[in-house]
Amino acid sequence: MLFQRARLHGSVVDLRVEGGRIAGIGDLAALPGEEVVPGGLLTPTLAEPHVHLDAALLGAKKPNVSGTLREGIALWAELRAGLTRADVEARARRTLKMYAEWGAYRVRTHVDTACLPAAEALIGLKGEHPGLQVVAFPQEGILRHRGALERWGEVVAMGCDAVGAIPHFERTADEGWRSVRLAFDLAERHGIGVDLHCDETDDPGSRNLEVACAEALDRGVGARVVAGHCTALHSYPNPHAAKVVELVAEAGLLVVANPLDNVVLQGRYDGYPRRRGLTRVDELWRAGARVGIGHDSVVDPWYRLGTANLVDAAHMLVHVGHLTGEDEIRRAFRTLHTENHLPFGGPPPIREGAEADLLWWPVDDEIEVVRLRPRPRVVRGRGGPLPMEEVK
């Protein structure tokens, strides 16, 4: 097919796809019998850096009445006890199909290490889905309960792509900091990355992000580290926040904001005015830090809504983050096909000879994609994730 007069990287070009590859980019004439798609916007496929496929599509079974993170964790613990590998596989496949229909073929999921059937299911699905990565995530911490530390290590050894932790949920600040260091140690032994649920709280005293930055800097592994949520940064005193933002940029780790979940989970202890509970995306951008955007939940005990459309998450971000300047809206959308690919080695390239992993949007302006949230047309070659060591 020929995409004719489409916008790509700020220019208007023709792009031909043939045999699963990009056969030409430039000023091209249509060939006899070739499908011609006029206008629109071309981008790489999208990537999801933070979701929980083990809990996806379970939200209607145990509705979260209070809307809090803590009730979500308690409800998940009840649901987790009855899960089977077959059930987790079926729901994960359905959710991955939803992502694919919205143009996301690379998905990083967390799996609760307290649920062996879920870990077996999601790690097993990696053979079916070359763009799937799995993080060993101890939902209730590794130091709170006897045996949790051992199960965490066992799941990592089953074939995970990153080591997770939830330091703000450990019993004390010291144990939270210890869990961060244990995660880095375990990841180092297995030669994989670190992906933390980090400071997902309104508590300005939750200081795990700076510990993660220090570990990343001291070990020289910042490009292999993801810190999800980081909502306490929203509530830090401004002088301390400035220090931590600078540390994040220096360490080079990726902060993943999850605006759909955090705008409803955070601020639950507030009267009025209520905090938005979103990390400081604008300040992180200005400091040169890497920021991704996750959907996080798809109809689960933490977030009853969700469509697996990452543009919905970008749409929410520009609202609750006061990022409604035109350059900011465009940057939020571009994040979905640039920084979101960092855990997978970088975005699939759009260049002559490359595999055709791209999306065609029926509008020619990134702002219109965020405004209208249309379904893209997906063009796929044989692309999968690059190995972690190729992350720059």
Cα torsion through 217, 223, 227, 229, rounded to 10: 130
pLDDT tens digits for the chain (392 residues)?
A: 999 999 999 999 999 999 999 999 999 999 999 999 999 999 999 999 999 999 999 999 989 999 998 899 999 899 989 999 999 999 999 999 999 999 999 999 999 999 999 999 999 999 999 999 999 999 999 999 999 999 999 999 999 999 999 999 999 999 999 999 999 999 999 999 999 999 999 999 999 999 999 999 999 999 999 999 999 999 999 999 999 999 999 999 999 999 999 999 999 999 999 999 899 999 999 999 999 999 999 999 999 999 999 999 999 999 999 999 999 999 999 999 999 999 999 999 999 999 999 999 999 999 999 999 999 999 987 644 333 333 32
Structure tokens at 315: 């749409």
Within the chain, all domains assigned CATH 3.20.20.140 are found at: 46-344
Q: Give the angle 387-111-336 at the CA atoms, nearest 5°.
A: 55
DSSP readout, 127-172? Answer: TT-TTEEEEEE-TT-SSSSTTHHHHHHHHHHTT-SEEEE-GGGSSS
C-alpha dist (Å) from residue 233 to 99, 191, 243, 343: 29, 29, 11, 22
C-alpha dist (Å) from residue 358 to 17, 22, 190: 10, 10, 33
pLDDT of 382: 61
Buried b / exposed e along 233-252 (16+ C-beta atoms within 10 A): bbbbeeeebeebbebbbebb
User: Has 48 been annotated as catalytic?
Assistant: no
- Given 48, 71, 170, 200, which residue is catalytic? 200
pLDDT of 384: 42
Q: Which CATH superfamily is domain 46-344 in?
A: Metal-dependent hydrolases (3.20.20.140)
Angle of helix 173-190 relative to helix 148-157, nearest 10 degrees, comes to 20
pLDDT of 383: 46
pLDDT of 253: 97
Cα torsion through 2, 371, 335, 326, rounded to 10: 110
pLDDT of 43: 97
Closest Cα to residue 347, out of 114, 106, 98, 123? 106
Within the chain, all domains assigned CATH 2.30.40.10 are found at: 2-44+348-386
Q: What is the pTM of this model?
A: 0.94
Contacts of 392 (CB under 8 A, 6+ apart): 223, 346
Identify the residue whose tokens are 């605006």. Answer: 259
> How many Cα atoms within 13 Å fall on the side-chain side of residue 67?
12
pLDDT of 380: 87
pLDDT of 327: 97
Our measurement of the distance from residue 7's CA atom to the centroid of its chain's CA atoms, rounded to an integer in Å, reads: 26
Q: CATH second-level architecture of 2-44+348-386?
A: Roll (2.30)
